[in-house]
Structure 1
Amino acid sequence: MKGRPLWHGRALAVLGILLCAFSLRSAVASLSPVIDHIGADFAVPSAVLGLIGTLPPMCFAVFGLITPILESRLGIERLTVVALIVIAVGLVARGLIGESIGLVLATALIFAGVGMGNILMPPLVKKYFPDRIGLMMALYTTAMACSTFVPPLVAVPVADAVGWRVSLAMWAVFALAGVIPWVLMVAGRGRASTGSATQPEWVPEPVEGSKAATQVTAPESTAGFSVTGPIATSPSSRRLFARLARIPLVWALSVTFGTSSIMAYVAFAWLPVIAMDIAGVDAGTAGLLLSLFAFVGLPSSLLVPVLVVRFHATRPLFLFGAIAGLVGILGLLLVPIAGLLWLWTALFGMVGLLFPLALVLISIRSRTPESAVLLSSFVQSVGYTLAAIFPILMGVLRDATGGWTVPLAVIGAVLLASIPAGMMAGRRRTVEDEWESRHGAW
């Protein structure tokens, strides 16, 4: 089946997904650049900064588990509205606070909304764009990548001009704007715009000889992934979530996403310090190296989803990202020369392609938006739990060994150990297929 043009009959869904995607990262990336401005008004102890640094993966993991329960009661569009409103309220509150505890609480509120949004985005893409998954995931992950490095560029100039409160609160505009398309669709006024996009692009047909099961055939645009098979009457979300833990493919996807998250949070927590310690660069250069790490992932946001969906390139892409990252880590370990830090950082930054890779796999390794919500919840909760552990572990290892050799070796070992999981994640089967091959009807 030939896919429809992206905007045809679903313009509101495009806008809603892109604005939500932008809000998921701008809310996170807009705080750290203006910490010094905040500290001029009230004390922000190091312990508070450390807590704020660990809040994102902790909140993402917790609300990753809660989101499927809320989605089953509210529906995916309504819960998206709730997540965006929570983000907007937290951003405004963070601009109004006057002490460090309030800063922590407002930031936790923001990350609660972001945690829900993280889970909902891949299923939303699957629901509204089953015929354009690769293209829409490319736009979605690119919006997230842009919102990672744009806020640090403008946060300080805005804070200098009109104050840090405005610099923090102004990002609520994007979250509130993202509410509008979803409210229109929920209220029914956007029905004409979304057309049939709220329905699957294929029609279930009964399987011969089966009363309870149906045969589901995905469109060509899901890239030929096998999504056919008997589907029994759907059990509860809780039972399905428990089943995911028994499917090796799910754990492979979790390790793939977790590896991406570990590398990102370790880099954002420690890469500037590593650069200053091992090569003696100044703080300004160390900050630019971190920006380079983030920027390297931008092209992959555009290319990876299309390469995975249209050309089944999961395994080559994973190997490229993992091996390039390993070379970058080895360079930092063995040749820590200031002039070569740019090369090693750029190579290490190639692990950033694992993030869009993992997200698109969540969409295409499940048959329905409902199972995609559960798969997204499971995979991201496991991944962000790992991401919460490793930045702390890196600091402990550094203090225990007096240097960065052991911590960097551990991160390299994680990348190396993740390669078998990346190969398994490249299997062109859905989690439902995996379950049915082992246990019968899903």
Structure 2
Amino acid sequence: MPTVSTRTFPWPVVIGIVLIGLVLRGPIIAVAPISGILRSDLGLTAAQVGLLTTLPVLCFAIITPFASFFVGRAGANFATTVTVIGVGLGTIIRSAGGVEAVFVGTIIMGAFITVGNVVVPVLIRRDVPPRRVGIVTGSYTSAMNVSSMITSLATAPLAQAFGWQAALLAWGGFAIIATVGWLLAIGPRAAFHVGPLRPKLESGAFETVAIDTQSIPSIQGVHARTWRSASALLLSLAFAGQAFSYYGVTAWFPTILEDEVGLSVTAAGSSSSIFQIAAVVGALGVPLLSTRTGIPRTFVLVAILWVSCPVGLLFDPSAWFVWGFFGGVAQGGGITIVFMLIVQLALNGTHARGLSAMIQGVGYALGATSATLLGAAHDATGAWTVPLSIVVVSTLVFSAAGLAGAIRANRTRPLSH
């Protein structure tokens, strides 16, 4: 069986992975800056607009087991190709106009993004040398936040100039970029090959290999081990707190700036992008800091910053820039740490897929309730005190469960291919 050299860094594949990150968050975040426009044009309530952000996350929760099965049968490369093309298709449908198209397109996008959520940690575990996992994971999550930042900044101005349908359609460009980058990285033959492929990093080419079933645990064994793992369960709970907090703040930060600070729709949409911009600092800074201080100590800093965001908005919304920046650094760093720990805990590709599916499935199942729950709480109370208090609780859950999970996972051996 061919071996993969860890001395040669697979630049084409890593660039492809980073470009894939562009389509996995930005297009669905684009709804938040124009939530007021959508409410007016489509006659939606705050809770219904929140559902447009919640639906993809709900797909992450419900479809993750099926996505994991699909990745296992179709292979990581083909599953990745399906992801980027499918997100582009969903973007087109969502922009067709009307309530039905918006919701159907959003669901399609969520389904294909779910496949991407599962497959990317598998790609990183398979293709990236162990010592580079942190920086590659950080670069990938940075790409997700960069695309979210761009959509947060530009969607509202585009909507006012060309209409909300055209504004949402514009982000199909991310899918085109990701598709071209992925095809160039591995070649059309590998991209559309159904079945497991393994890279020969020395040449940058891929070849089909037989799976040595005696060298890896059975699917049933991996599944059982994953659900009995205290580290995996703690990380699932931490990821739930991360997802709940992230999608809740992302969905309603612009509206909070409108209501509490008095910004216009356009200004609020643009200003809220600090929450996405700062995530790049966390996503790239966490791998570098963790190599010096260790993951548990790094996690403590991330947790403090995460909790400060909703607490600050609750007690001093006028300093929204500071709290948005702190929360952005934390959410970028938080998801990076969780993905790093998934790769570190994984025994092999099959185990990585199982861990990714479990942690993200459980986490997104709880996180999916965020935007709608916070919107409903605001509708019921007419203020943001209760919604922000709920976010405080979710960041505390992330902090406690994540630190415990990081300490346990950090006791395991560093991963090896």
- Rounded Cα–Cα distance in structure 2 between residues aligned with 1:14 and 1:364: 18
* CA deviation after TM superposition for structure 1 residue 81, in Å: 1.1
Moved more, 160-169 or 252-261: 160-169
* CA deviation after TM superposition for structure 1 residue 92, in Å: 2.3
Structure 1: give runs of 5+ residues left out of the alignment.
205-211, 215-232, 434-442
- CA deviation profile, 1:35-70 (whole Å, cap 9, x unmatched): 677789x63533653431221210111222211111
List aligned pairs for 1:195-344, cutoff 5 A. Answer: 195=203, 234-236=217-219, 238-277=220-259, 279-284=260-265, 286-308=268-290, 310-311=291-292, 313-333=294-314, 335-336=315-316, 338=318, 340-344=319-323
* CA deviation after TM superposition for structure 1 residue 362, in Å: 1.4
Any conservation in 2 of the 1:321–1:351 contact (CA below 8 Å)?
yes
Any conservation in 2 of the 1:272–1:283 contact (CA below 8 Å)?
no
Matched residue of 1:234: which SS?
Answer: coil
The structure-2 alpha-carbon separation of the partners of 1:187 and 1:45, relative to structure 1 and needing over 3 Å to count, comes to closer
Question: Could you tell me which residue of structure 2 aligns to residue 104 of structure 1?
Answer: 103
The structure-2 alpha-carbon separation of the partners of 1:327 and 1:36, relative to structure 1 and needing over 3 Å to count, comes to closer
Any conservation in 1 of the 2:152–2:272 contact (CA below 8 Å)?
no
Q: 2:190 aligns with which of 185, 188, 195?
A: 185
Question: Could you tell me which residue of structure 2 aligns to residue 225 of structure 1?
Answer: none
- Rounded Cα–Cα distance in structure 1 between residues aligned with 2:268 and 2:166: 27
Code of the residue aligned with 1:195 in structure 2: it is S
- Rounded Cα–Cα distance in structure 2 between residues aligned with 1:43 and 1:337: 30
Q: 2:391 aligns with which of 411, 414, 421?
A: 411
- TM-score with structure 1 setting the length: 0.77
Greater relative contact order (Cα < 8 A, sep 6+)? 2
Percent identity, aligned pairs only, is 26
Q: 1:420 aligns with which of 400, 412, 417?
A: 400
Matched residue of 2:262: which SS?
Answer: coil
List aligned pairs for 1:34-113, cutoff 5 A. Answer: 43=42, 45-46=44-45, 48-95=48-95, 97-113=96-112
Question: Could you tell me which residue of structure 2 aligns to residue 226 of structure 1?
Answer: none
- Rounded Cα–Cα distance in structure 1 between residues aligned with 2:192 and 2:310: 51
Q: 2:7 aligns with which of 1, 4, 15?
A: 4
Any conservation in 2 of the 1:263–1:351 contact (CA below 8 Å)?
no
The structure-2 alpha-carbon separation of the partners of 1:280 and 1:428, relative to structure 1 and needing over 3 Å to count, comes to closer
Is the counterpart of residue 346 in structure 1 residue 345 in structure 2? no
- Rounded Cα–Cα distance in structure 1 between residues aligned with 2:163 and 2:375: 33
Any conservation in 1 of the 2:60–2:361 contact (CA below 8 Å)?
yes
Structure 2: give runs of 5+ residues left out of the alignment.
none
The structure-2 alpha-carbon separation of the partners of 1:323 and 1:185, relative to structure 1 and needing over 3 Å to count, comes to same
- CA deviation profile, 1:375-402 (whole Å, cap 9, x unmatched): 1111111111111123333344445556
Question: Could you tell me which residue of structure 1 aligns to residue 373 of structure 2?
Answer: 393
The structure-2 alpha-carbon separation of the partners of 1:391 and 1:83, relative to structure 1 and needing over 3 Å to count, comes to same
Matched residue of 2:42: which SS?
Answer: coil
Question: Could you tell me which residue of structure 2 aligns to residue 135 of structure 1?
Answer: 135
Moved more, 263-272 or 107-116: 263-272
Code of the residue aligned with 1:301 in structure 2: it is A
Code of the residue aligned with 2:358 in structure 1: it is F
- Rounded Cα–Cα distance in structure 2 between residues aligned with 1:192 and 1:280: 55
- Rounded Cα–Cα distance in structure 1 between residues aligned with 2:378 and 2:42: 27
List aligned pairs for 1:162-173, cutoff 5 A. Answer: 164-173=164-173
Moved more, 349-358 or 175-184: 175-184
Matched residue of 1:420: which SS?
Answer: helix
- Rounded Cα–Cα distance in structure 2 between residues aligned with 1:54 and 1:341: 24
Matched residue of 1:282: which SS?
Answer: coil
Code of the residue aligned with 1:185 in structure 2: it is A
* CA deviation after TM superposition for structure 1 residue 134, in Å: 1.9
Code of the residue aligned with 1:342 in structure 2: it is F
- Rounded Cα–Cα distance in structure 1 between residues aligned with 2:114 and 2:67: 8
* CA deviation after TM superposition for structure 1 residue 157, in Å: 5.0
- Rounded Cα–Cα distance in structure 2 between residues aligned with 1:343 and 1:114: 31
- Rounded Cα–Cα distance in structure 1 between residues aligned with 2:217 and 2:189: 29
Aligned residues: 394
The structure-2 alpha-carbon separation of the partners of 1:364 and 1:196, relative to structure 1 and needing over 3 Å to count, comes to farther
Matched residue of 1:45: which SS?
Answer: coil
* CA deviation after TM superposition for structure 1 residue 197, in Å: 8.0
- Rounded Cα–Cα distance in structure 2 between residues aligned with 1:363 and 1:307: 18
* CA deviation after TM superposition for structure 1 residue 366, in Å: 0.9
Moved more, 27-36 or 408-417: 27-36
* CA deviation after TM superposition for structure 1 residue 74, in Å: 0.6
- CA deviation profile, 1:100-136 (whole Å, cap 9, x unmatched): 1022111211111111111111111111113421221
Code of the residue aligned with 1:15 in structure 2: it is I
Code of the residue aligned with 1:101 in structure 2: it is E
The structure-2 alpha-carbon separation of the partners of 1:128 and 1:94, relative to structure 1 and needing over 3 Å to count, comes to same
Question: Could you tell me which residue of structure 1 aligns to residue 340 of structure 2?
Answer: 360
Cα RMSD over matched residues? Answer: 3.5
* CA deviation after TM superposition for structure 1 residue 337, in Å: 5.5
Any conservation in 2 of the 1:326–1:415 contact (CA below 8 Å)?
yes
Code of the residue aligned with 2:239 in structure 1: it is F
Any conservation in 1 of the 2:18–2:140 contact (CA below 8 Å)?
yes
- Rounded Cα–Cα distance in structure 2 between residues aligned with 1:341 and 1:166: 30
- Rounded Cα–Cα distance in structure 2 between residues aligned with 1:331 and 1:266: 15
